[in-house]
Homo-oligomer: A and B are copies of this chain.
Amino acid sequence: MFKLTFLGTSSGVPTRHRNVTSLALQTTHNRDWWMIDCGEATQHRLQRLPLSVHDLVGICITHVHGDHSYGLPGLLASASMTGRKKPLLLIAPAAIKAWIDATLLHTELFLTYPLIHIDVDSAPVVHEEAGLTISRHALSHRAPSVGYRFALETSRWKLDKAALQAAGAPPGPAWGLLQAGQDAILDDGTLLRAATFRQTETQRATVVIGGDNDTPALLTDACAGAQLLVHEATYTEAMLQKVGPGPTHSSVQRVAQFAEAVRLPNLILTHFSARYHNADGMAELEAEARLHYSGELFLARDFDSYELDAAGVLSKLPGKSH
């Protein structure tokens, strides 16, 4: 249903193997994809992946901080230079729109396509299209921040194969006609009606992508019925206590306890402080998470891809991490 690819998993500053925050979200029905946050050099990450900026439908920005937004000007400019024509949605705080307007003006950037801004504060549902509903959920951070909930519902026609077999219609051309919604007549003259043998099968999946946030419980409503939460876990609880409440980030423990409390089946942590970027650091974060969360857990790395299927099962896809 969903494929997620992490373009950047570092908090604040890039390091050699982790870039600042960005995430690509694809749905399985076409090549279109969404981006959530766009730290500097996100376009450079895309060059190493089979994701084209021309298939990008929209960009959701969680909050104004540079490690989540400074890749926007370059990405927008490069899309123009490579000839994009179709509109691009920018779901973002009004300040991001003001900054992009200032960028267009002062750096003489002329876009070859319409950039359509949707103010993240305008309504709880920020985008709706066939089968996909994106809503935003207010978080707690030193700058106004939101999480995005992507709810996907896809329907497809499915033949009642058992009933067809029982009616004396084995697999064959008639099945193709019925699948396409046309009635079929068997060689013996039996009429098979599509309305009888064809049913709608609906699949649903919901993913919640948090922005910077020190209070995971603010996502309780967003996570109702969701199969996956992606959330920042900047440091351990001990480090959060040491750093103090100023940065308004979450610890691994807080996110893990929240995910356990709302019985979320899958959790991916990201946005790690540079102090944890070696193997020991990541092991420390993972150990803290497993202490408080019993579901399927991953700590994201740049270039990691995951698939969430219609049964709610999350799998890490094979492929290189850096």
Contact = CB atoms under 8 A, between A and B. Distances in A.
A107 B106 CA distance: 16
Interface string A19-41: 11000000000000000000011
Contacts of A320: none
A107 B74 CA distance: 16
A107 B43 contact: no
A314 to B, nearest CB: 30
A300 to B, nearest CB: 19
A98 interface: yes
Contacts of A261: none
A69 B103 CA distance: 11
Contacts of A106: 64, 95-96, 98-99, 102
A74 B64 contact: no
Contact of A73 (B14, B16, B70): B70
Contacts of A70: 40, 70, 73-74, 77, 107
Given A13-B81, A48-B16, A40 B73 contact: yes
Interface residues on A, range: 35 or more
Given A15-B47, A41-B41, A107-B99, A77 B67 contact: yes
Please classify the interface of chain A as helix (H, G, I), strand (E, B), loop, or mixed, using the class held by over half of its residues: loop
B66 A14 contact: no
A71 interface: yes
A227 B108 CA distance: 33
Contact of A40 (B40, B47, B108): B40
A224 to B, nearest CB: 31
Given A16-B48, A77-B67, A98 B102 contact: yes
Interface of A: 12-16, 19-20, 40-41, 43-44, 47-48, 64-67, 69-71, 73-74, 77-78, 81-82, 95-96, 98-99, 102-103, 106-109, 142-143
